[in-house]
Amino acid sequence: MKSLLSSKPVLWFLFLFNLVVAAAAPFVVDGAQGVMTAVGMGVVSVGAGVGLLRGQRPVRHPA
């Protein structure tokens, strides 16, 4: 399960989907529930984004 969740396509999906939901939630759901939904989805999106950034390795070319 860990290898599936750390794959790039899954991380991109989590990042983009949760970012869109976090941006739309306050307009779709009223009150505190919309704000808390946006915060929760934003946290998941930031976590996936960090996972994407950590996954980048500098390419080393042989000299």
Q: Which residues of 2-28 are buried (b: 16+ CB within 10 A; e: fewer)?
A: eeeeeeeeebeebbeebbebbeebbee
Type of residue numbered 14: L
Total-model pTM = 0.78
CA distances from 27 to 21, 32, 37, 45, 63 (A): 10, 12, 11, 18, 54
pLDDT of the residue at 5: 73
pLDDT of the residue at 50: 93
pLDDT of the residue at 33: 96
> Do the Cβ atoms of 21 and 37 come closer than 8 Å?
yes
Band (pLDDT 50/70/90 cuts) for residue 62 is low
> Do the Cβ atoms of 52 and 18 come closer than 8 Å?
no
The pLDDT tens digits for 4-58 are 777 888 999 999 999 999 999 999 999 999 999 999 999 999 999 999 998 766 6
